[in-house]
Structure 1
Amino acid sequence: MSSRPGADLPAAPGVYRFRDAGGRVLYVGRATHLRSRVGSYWGDLRDRRHLRRMVPQIARVEAVACDSAHEAAWLERNLLERSKPRWNRIRGGLEAPFCIRVSASRIEPAHWRPGVAADFGPYLGGTQARLAVSGLERVLPLRYTDERLDGGLRDLARIRGVGPEDRDAMLASIKAVLRREAGALSGVRRELALLRDRASANLAFELAGRIQQEIEAVAWIGAEQKVTLLAAGSDFEVHGYADGMLVKFQMRAGRLDRWEQRACAPAASRRYLDRTPPEWSEFAARNAELARSLN
């Protein structure tokens, strides 16, 4: 191992794995910043006392660089649901999986179950899903476009200048955000930032804090996340290769839940690389380079 564990890791979100001298997996974790998180195990473990006895057993570090912290959270969960190493305390993750359902005049979070029909997601974390919905409704108040509002809601709709004629445009904007379209996402976050700054200028700091949480939640659900999908889809494998190192990821029932890496000759790697869907090529190649640098 490097004299500075974690020094060769990127400053990116991802999942890391520790192995002992016998090749057994000791621990799987996730990070928003791989380099600093992995390096912290050789620092002060005051808040992770149960891991102190594990650290001297670490012989090798492996890692996957993800495209977002949300993607890393899902990958960690999938790997731990498949197999829980000795030093991990729980199988899976702490956050509950949620989806977001959109109707003609309503947007709401709901618990996600594989195979159950839903509109958008899945997302990890009920709090994040609820905050994101709250932020969307703050900017795009779809509920006020219902034609059957009672007196109080009708008055609020009038004050906000919203009516049934706005429904189609709001629905389109909400769905664009939930499809992770960059322009729609940045527009909602920009509007929320203006509302936050206005609240802060009016000394409504509690409201400003709440809106900041909504901004972060919208960013969370809008971040790239492809390792867990709503639809089961077809099963497939993803391979990456770099200078003698072959990395394999396995997608089953819409979830990437297996990650392996091994030495491989260049000629033998071609038949594996040919199986990789084109949209996964960059992810696979990047992580093959990372595996090679850590090997």
Structure 2
Amino acid sequence: MPDRPAAVAALPAAPGVYRFRDAAGRVVYLGRATDLRSRVGSYWGDLRDRPHLRRMVPQVVDVEALTCASVHEATWLERNLLERSKPRWNRVRGGLEVPTWIALVEGAGTAELRVLHSPDDAPGAAVFGPYLGGGQSRLAVAGLDRVLALSYAGARRGGFDQDMARLRGVADGDLPARVERAGAVLSREPAAVAAALDALTRRRQEAAGACAFEVAARIQAELEAVAWVTAEQRVTAPHAPGTTTAPRTLSRTGPAPGPLATGPRVVHLHGYAGGVLVSFEVRDGRLDRWHQEAADEVRAATRVAATPEAWRTFTREAAELAARLRDAR
């Protein structure tokens, strides 16, 4: 087994994406991690059950990485980068998870959350996303229905629904407020997200306290899924930060808008630190290109100044990590 690159020890214990380069400077592999330092370091451990990686690792001479705001963001970023360019040792272009959206569909005295495979599948509804993983989205919808009880808060309720509404603490006229709470959670409003996660945590503890361990396990899965869909995720969005393109999110109160409004389809982002310029490209709301190179501060200053303010923290942190990894070689 070859020696582990010294840069591995300089990686943060944070979610992100990483890539390996060979002696010729070519990217040979790109992956994602919940913990960058642990995941990247594992390649220089026991790989007996992964023969293709055993052949790759001796070629690795350099490590590059980006930290992400959440594992969900790292998953999207890996997918975007692999769809744009697949390195030699990656087996799949893109990713295995299915992109989905969640619609908040309202009718005459009714409301429901619905998982979609296209944002256009629920005209007139408020559509949130995209999210990676159909299973995660369905579990999130189940968890939100568990704590918000939208299906029992409507005006058209039979006897069984009325009994369930009482058990769930739903009062007459509750529907608008519960719809508002659902929209706030899916819009990632911090207080609403925290309240939903806290409610699910209490339900899980109650189930465990009653020895209903299968129910508790199911609620734990729902809790993790709600955390997944509400985690910060900037690299794939219908309206990426720093662009002027209109979102494709459908209006809750009016008809679906027409095509995307005019605006830059491609946005270039740059960060600079310690002699390293890191550059990205956001195309139609998807960050899918990542490049870094040595550069002097004068040359980098103009590019960094043109980077939209909403991306400045992301690009600065990327450049600082790139400089740290370079210095650790």
Shorter-normalised TM range:
over 0.9
Q: Does 1:167 align with 2:175?
A: yes
Q: Which residue of 2 aligns with 1:249?
A: 280
Partner of 2:228: 220
Moved more, 43-52 or 199-208: 43-52
1:15 equivalent in structure 2: 17
| Aligned with 1:27 (options 10, 29, 33) | 29
2:72 alignment partner in structure 1: 70
Asked if the contact 1:5–1:42 (Cα under 8 Å) also holds between the matched residues in 2, the reply is: no
Q: Is contact 1:27–1:88 with CA below 8 Å preserved after alignment?
A: yes
C-alpha contact (below 8 Å) 2:197/2:223 kept by paired residues? yes
The structure 1 residue matched to 2:205, chosen from 197, 211, 223, is 197
Match status 1:152 vs 2:160: yes
Task: Describe the shift of the 1:63–1:116 C-alpha distance in structure 2 as closer, same or farther (beyond 3 A).
Answer: farther
Q: 2:270–2:277: 8 Å Cα contact kept in structure 1? A: yes
Unaligned 5+ runs, structure 2:
246-263
- Which residue in the other structure is 2:251 paired with? none
Return the TM-score normalized by structure 1.
0.95
Q: Render the CA deviation track for 1:192-229: whole Å, top value 9, x for unaligned.
A: 11110110011100000000111111111111000000
Letter in structure 2 aligned against 1:140? L
Return 5+ residue gaps in structure 1 as ranges: none
Q: Distance in 1 between matches of 2:118 and 2:34?
A: 24
1:245-265 CA deviation, whole Å, 9 max, x = no partner? 000010001100000000111
- Cα root mean square deviation, aligned: 1.9
TM-score by length of 2: 0.85
In structure 2, relative to structure 1, the CA distance for the partners of 1:167 and 1:113 (3 Å cut) is closer
CA drift at 1:283: 0.8
Contact 2:76–2:235 (Cα < 8 Å) also in 1: yes
Question: 1:108 matched to which residue of 2?
Answer: 114
The question of whether the paired residues in 1 share the 8 Å contact of 2:105 and 2:122 is answered with no
Partners of 2:268 and 2:292 lie apart in 1 by 13
Confirm whether residue 36 of structure 1 aligns to residue 18 of structure 2. no
- Secondary structure at the aligned position of 1:64 is classed as strand
Residues 124 and 165 of structure 1: CA distance in aligned 2, closer, same or farther (over 3 Å): same
Structure 1 partner of 2:91: 89
Q: Which amino acid aligns with 1:108?
A: R
Q: Deviations over 1:240-285 (max 9, x none)?
A: 0012100001000110000000011111111100121111111100
Partners of 2:119 and 2:22 lie apart in 1 by: 35
CA distance change for structure 1 residues 256 and 157 in 2, over 3 Å: closer, same or farther? Answer: same
Q: Identify the residue that residue 292 of structure 1 maps to in structure 2.
A: 323
The whole-number CA distance in structure 1 between the counterparts of 2:167 and 2:129 is: 32
C-alpha distance in structure 1 between counterparts of 2:46 and 2:120, whole Å: 39
Quote the offset at 1:231 in angstroms. Answer: 4.0
Q: Percent identity?
A: 55
Provide the residue aligned with 1:273 in structure 2.
304
CA shift at 1:83, angstroms? 1.0
* Partner Cα separation in structure 1 for residue 121 and residue 60 of structure 2: 38
